[in-house]
């Protein structure tokens, strides 16, 4: 397909659910006049065009200076779940080897980290779907918890065509509209709901005793807590009726059922425990590892799965290894040809890293690859302040994002159709994308940028190759023997059309589409029930801030909007931030549909256009987070972090709403 022929002509058909990832990020943007095509250096306060050598020399010299003055942790790196596996891998190596810094994390921390941590805890491994996507076609029932795929993953809906859908979401979303039943808990109360339904499973005789006995451990401790969560009590906390909870328990116990979670239930300061609550429910029903049943987490970003496996996380080495595990350090150090003791230890998590920038103990420089935290990080005004306090901010991007606009140096990079690389999809299958079009003149790949800086930092050239397949060959070795083992995957096999789900142990191994068919990944092969209890949002509502604000996405904008806001056909559908409000709540605040409202939390305020939505809970307002400046939903959000995943509480904070005058 000639992508350029479709450029500018992205077709949007929300009703038909026809828009896919390519629609958001691709065609029109390949040709956008807003594409960056030359490096930029800030001079006298202005970003001005510069040559590649000049910009790379400047960055390397500054990194060396800062390291000399303040030590290796003076330099920090922020990556992205949209980067290819090769980029994510090389970025992690670049941080640990070329910079010697422990200070690297990425935006996936804001995305799937809670589900990842809960999956590791229960199953001993984290792969979004531990079964092939196609299995869902045979489902009788699919419970979607905090997921709105009608807007966020339209192509995915085709797999759910024959299933009865049940949606758990405070809002009556486009997905909930298609569902057989919609349960609308108050934001941040999902764990109470999961406990209430688990109580009903046991009390009404749906517990799968033989599965619990043969494939799991820890049920008794979980039941000690769930026993106290009779559905009527859960109803008082969540607003979901006890009858609906009992109905759900019975429905999930009948036939082939899947429980799938996404950001709505995960992006909380209790996100890991909440996902554990849903996994406990799935285990009690005997779903994980069944022939046609299971639990899974729906990934988000282009490479949400692979991006979390190969070392751009603060605590991680390639192959989903832990950076504090001596055996893992020894293996990866061997592949990297460095000494294990020279590898740094774990660094700060995403929000903590951003929040430490430019503080006396924090990093003095930040290199950003594939993220726009000025818009997408919680308590965004605080993050903008921290970025301003840096000695050096370097951003690699295709466009001048809000974060790039603050940078000292900007590098223009290629995007998906213009370069080779692999991505790993939500079912753990590795996909090869070949360069299909020529990049604009003046643009280089992220791998080129890393290679160029590493070279100037004195690294030998072979350590930081710019060729994607060469990087992948090294990634295979680094991942060998790890949980996410890619050692048997080659570009050749992928190009030949093989469908390879990791782990792939050698070049003849067929891959592992169903991870839990016989055993879970803990040494004893059993899944763990994890005792968790409901505590609720970090910031409850009160008289001053009586409403729960929750945030999320709309069909025609992608993420921080840096790309989609530039595509007229997409942007025109939702060109400015809005706030969904129940008509009664709006009336009480003196607001009508179409008015400009001021939404205020303890951290800041956002000005947004009122959309009255009669199906919304009166105690909830919703804002999309795709918009910049004074329209940033993240001016409101609460950076309270989950103790395990360090996920911020994007999905609930206390606000009030009033007229904007
Ligand atoms: N159009 C579009 N598609 C996208 C993206 C995009 O920006 N735009 N981003 C991609 C990425 S990176 C991701 S991570 C995925 C995210 O995909 P989703 O998780 O489907 O998206 P969200 O809109 O963040 O959240 C889903 C729902 O959670 C609900 N919710 C809020 N609070 C709660 C709660 O306490 N409990 C429950 N159960 N639900 C709650 C919201 O009302 C929302 O409808 O989408 C991907 N696809
Ligand atoms: N309030 C609120 N905030 C949220 C969320 C929410 O639900 N509510 N969701 C969170 C989630 S799930 C996510 S994933 C984050 C996403 O938010 P961000 O981390 O900001 O991610 P993007 O907007 O995708 O930013 C990607 C940037 O990288 C650029 N880019 C794209 N591809 C490449 C590439 O290959 N290389 C380089 N160098 N640059 C590239 C794009 O042009 C864009 O400027 O937002 C989080 N923030
Ligand atoms: Mo995400």
pLDDT in tens, 177-222: 999 999 999 999 999 999 999 999 999 999 999 999 999 999 999 9
637 Cα nearest atom in ligand 2: 1
Whether residue 648 has its Cβ less than 6 Å from ligand 2: no
- Residue pLDDT, tens place only, 106-132: 999 999 999 999 999 999 999 999 999
CATH class of 547-659: mainly beta
What value does the mean pLDDT take over residues 387-414?
97
pLDDT of amino acid 6: 28
User: Domain 113-298 - what CATH class?
Assistant: alpha beta
Q: Which ligand is nearest to the CA of 153?
A: 1
Probe target for ligand 2 pocket from 79, 371, 415, 433, with the most ligand atoms within 8 Å of CB? 371
Ligand 1 in reach of 111 Cβ (< 6 A): yes
Q: Name the CATH topology of 37-110+303-485.
A: Rossmann fold (3.40.50)
Q: What percent of the chain has pLDDT over 90?
A: 90
pLDDT tens track for 467-491: 999 999 999 999 999 999 999 999 9
Rounded distance from Cα 559 to ligand 2 centre (Å): 5
CA–CA separation, 267 vs 641, rounded Å?
Answer: 9
User: Is the C-beta atom of 167 inside 6 A of ligand 1?
Assistant: no
Residue 650 CA: which ligand is closest?
A: 2
Look at the chain and count its residues.
661
190 Cβ inside 6 Å of ligand 1 = yes
Q: Which of 14, 22, 179, 264 to mutate to test the pocket of ligand 1 (most atoms within 8 A of CB)?
A: 264
Averaged pLDDT for residues 260-276: 98
Q: Please state the atom number of ligand 1 nearest to the C-alpha of residue 556.
A: 1
Cα-to-centroid distance, 146 and ligand 1 (Å): 7
Q: Which tens digit of pLDDT belongs to each residue from 537-571? A: 999 999 999 999 999 999 988 888 888 878 887 88
Q: How confident is the model at residue 279 (pLDDT cuts 50, 70, 90)?
A: very high
Which ligand has an atom closest to residue 297 CA?
A: 1
38 DSSP 8-state letter:
S
Expressed in percent and rounded to 5, the helix, strand and coil fractions of the chain are 40, 20, 45
Q: What is the mean pLDDT of the chain?
A: 94
Q: Which ligand is nearest to the CA of 299?
A: 1
C-alpha distances in angstroms, 298 versus 182, 234, 253, 528?
19, 26, 22, 21
Predicted confidence at residue 562, as pLDDT, reads 81
Per-residue pLDDT at 644 exceeds 50: yes
Write down the domain spans for the chain: 1-31, 37-110+303-485, 113-298, 547-659
Q: Which atom of ligand 2 is nearest to the CA of 633?
A: 1
**CA–CA gap between residue 25 and residue 551 (Å, rounded):** 21
Res 50 pLDDT > 90: yes
- Is residue 20 over pLDDT 70? no
Question: Quick check: CB of 308 below 6 Å from ligand 2?
Answer: no
Q: Tell me the best of 263, 623, 645 to mutate to test the pocket of ligand 1, counting ligand atoms within 8 Å of each CB and taking the most.
A: 263
Contact 299 CB / ligand 1 (< 6 Å): no
CA distance 414 to 418: 6
The pLDDT value given to residue 1: 26
What does the buried/exposed string (b/e) look like for 472-501 if buried means 16 or more CB atoms within 10 Å of the residue's CB? bebbbbbbbebbbbbbbbbeebbeeebebb
Q: Chain centroid to CA 475: how far? A: 22
On the 0-12 / 13-18 / 19+ scale of CB atoms within 10 A, 137 is middle
366 lines ligand 1 (CB under 6 A): no
Question: Ligand 2 pocket, 372 CB below 6 A?
Answer: yes
Tell me, using a 6 A CB cutoff, whether residue 147 lines ligand 2. Answer: no
Q: What is the mean pLDDT of residues 167-176?
A: 97
pLDDT (tens digit per residue) in 504-539? 999 999 999 999 999 999 999 999 999 999 999 999
Residue whose Cα lies nearest atom 33 of ligand 1: it is: 264
Residue 245 has pLDDT above 80, yes or no: yes
The first and second tokens of residue 139, run together, are: 């489902």
Q: Do domains 113-298 and 547-659 have the same CATH topology?
A: no
Note the pTM of the prediction, 2 decimals: 0.95
- Among 82, 111, 450, 468, residue to substitute to test ligand 2 (most atoms within 8 Å of Cβ): 82
b/e code 175-187 from CB counts within 10 Å (16+ = b): bbeebeebbbbbb
| Other Cβ atoms within 10 Å of 71 Cβ, number | 11
* 26, pLDDT greater than 60: no
Task: Say if residue 13's pLDDT is above 70.
Answer: no
- The SS3 assignment for 184 reads coil
Determine whether the shortest distance from the Cβ of 301 to ligand 1 is under 6 A.
Answer: yes
The label of the residue with tokens 């995915």 reads 156
- 82 Cβ closer than 6 Å to some ligand 1 atom: no
Name which residue leads in pLDDT, 3 or 370.
Answer: 370
Check pocket membership of 397 for ligand 2, CB cut-off 6 A: yes
List the shell of residues around ion ligand 3, using CB closer than 5 Å. Answer: 111, 300-301
CA–centroid distance, 259 to ligand 3, in Å, is 19
Q: Take atom 1 of ligand 1 and give the residue whose Cα is closest.
A: 555
For 97, phi and psi rounded to 5 degrees?
-100, -50
Enter the tokens of residue 50. Answer: 């510069």
Distances (CA, A) of 343 to 105, 324, 368, 484: 16, 10, 21, 21
**Across-strand partners of 549?**
621, 653
Question: 504-513, pLDDT tens digit by residue?
Answer: 999 999 999 9
Ligand 2 atom 30, closest CA: 370
Closest Cα to atom 35, ligand 2: which residue?
A: 83
Distance 68 CA to ligand 1 centre (A): 43
pLDDT at 17: 37
Nearest Cα to Cα of residue 173 among 157, 193, 162, 195? 157
Does residue 148 have its Cβ closer than 6 Å to ligand 1? yes
- Among 20-29, 171-180, 297-306, the least confident range: 20-29
């Amino acid at each position: 397909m000639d992508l350029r022929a479709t450029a500018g002509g992205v077709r949007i058909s929300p009703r038909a659910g026809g828009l896919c990832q390519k629609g958001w990020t691709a065609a029109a943007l390949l040709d956008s006049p807003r594409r960056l095509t030359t490096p930029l250096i800030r001079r006298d306060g202005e970003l001005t065009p510069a040559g590649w050598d000049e910009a790379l020399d400047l960055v390397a010299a500054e990194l060396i200076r800062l390291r000399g003055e303040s030590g290796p942790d003076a330099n920090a790196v922020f990556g992205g779940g949209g980067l290819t596996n090769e980029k994510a891998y090389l970025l992690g190596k670049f941080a640990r080897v070329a910079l010697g810094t422990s200070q690297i994390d990425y935006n996936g921390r804001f995305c799937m980290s809670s589900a990842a941590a809960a999956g590791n805890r229960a199953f001993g491994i984290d792969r979004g779907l531990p079964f092939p996507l196609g299995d869902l076609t045979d489902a009788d029932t699919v419970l979607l918890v905090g997921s709105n795929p009608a807007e966020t993953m339209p192509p995915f809906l085709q797999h759910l065509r024959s299933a009865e859908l049940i949606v758990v979401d405070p809002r009556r979303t486009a997905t909930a509209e298609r569902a057989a039943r919609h349960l609308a808990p108050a934001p941040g109360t999902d764990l109470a709901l999961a406990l209430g339904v688990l109580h009903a499973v046991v009390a009404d005789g749906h517990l799968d005793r033989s599965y619990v006995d043969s494939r799991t451990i820890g049920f008794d401790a979980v039941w000690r807590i769930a026993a106290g969560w009779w559905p009527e009590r859960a109803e008082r906390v969540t607003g979901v009726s006890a009858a609906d909870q009992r109905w759900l328990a019975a429905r999930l116990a009948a036939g082939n059922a899947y429980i799938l979670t996404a950001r709505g239930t995960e992006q909380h300061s209790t996100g890991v425990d909440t996902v554990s609550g849903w996994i406990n429910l799935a285990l009690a029903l005997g779903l994980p590892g069944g022939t046609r049943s299971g639990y899974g987490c729906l990934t988000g970003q282009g490479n949400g799965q692979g991006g979390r496996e190969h070392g751009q996380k603060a605590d991680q080495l390639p192959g989903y290894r832990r950076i504090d595990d001596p055996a893992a350090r020894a293996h990866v150090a061997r592949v990297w040809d460095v000494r294990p003791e020279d590898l740094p230890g774990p660094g700060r998590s995403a929000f903590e890293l951003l929040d430490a920038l430019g503080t006396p103990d924090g990093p003095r420089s930040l290199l950003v690859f594939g993220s726009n935290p000025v818009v997408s990080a919680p308590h965004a005004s605080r993050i903008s302040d921290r970025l301003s306090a840096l000695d050096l901010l370097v951003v690699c991007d295709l466009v001048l994002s809000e974060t790039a606009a603050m940078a000292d140096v900007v590098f223009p990079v290629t995007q998906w159709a213009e370069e080779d690389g692999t991505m790993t999809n939500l079912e753990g299958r590795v996909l090869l994308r070949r360069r299909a079009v020529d990049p604009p003149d003046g643009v280089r790949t992220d791998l080129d940028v890393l290679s160029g800086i590493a070279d100037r930092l004195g690294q030998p050239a072979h350590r930081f190759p710019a060729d994607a397949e060469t990087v992948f060959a090294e990634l295979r070795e680094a991942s060998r023997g790890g949980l996410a083992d890619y050692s048997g995957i080659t570009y050749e096999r992928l190009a030949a059309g093989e469908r390879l789900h990791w782990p792939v142990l050698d070049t003849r191994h067929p891959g592992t589409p169903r991870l839990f068919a016989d055993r879970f990944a803990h040494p004893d092969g059993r899944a763990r029930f994890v005792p968790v209890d409901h505590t609720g949002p970090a910031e409850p509502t009160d008289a001053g801030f009586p409403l729960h604000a929750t945030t999320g996405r709309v069909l025609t904008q992608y993420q921080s909007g840096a790309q989609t806001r530039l595509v007229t056909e997409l942007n025109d559908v939702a060109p400015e931030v809005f706030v969904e409000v129940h008509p009664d709540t709006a009336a009480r605040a003196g607001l009508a549909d179409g008015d400009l409202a001021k939404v205020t939390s303890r951290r800041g305020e956002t000005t947004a256009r009122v959309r009255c939505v009669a199906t919304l809970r009166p105690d909830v307002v919703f804002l999309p987070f795709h918009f910049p400046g004074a329209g940033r939903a993240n001016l409101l959000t609460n950076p309270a972090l989950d103790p395990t995943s360090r996920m911020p509480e994007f999905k609930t904070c206390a606000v009030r709403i009033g007229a904007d005058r």
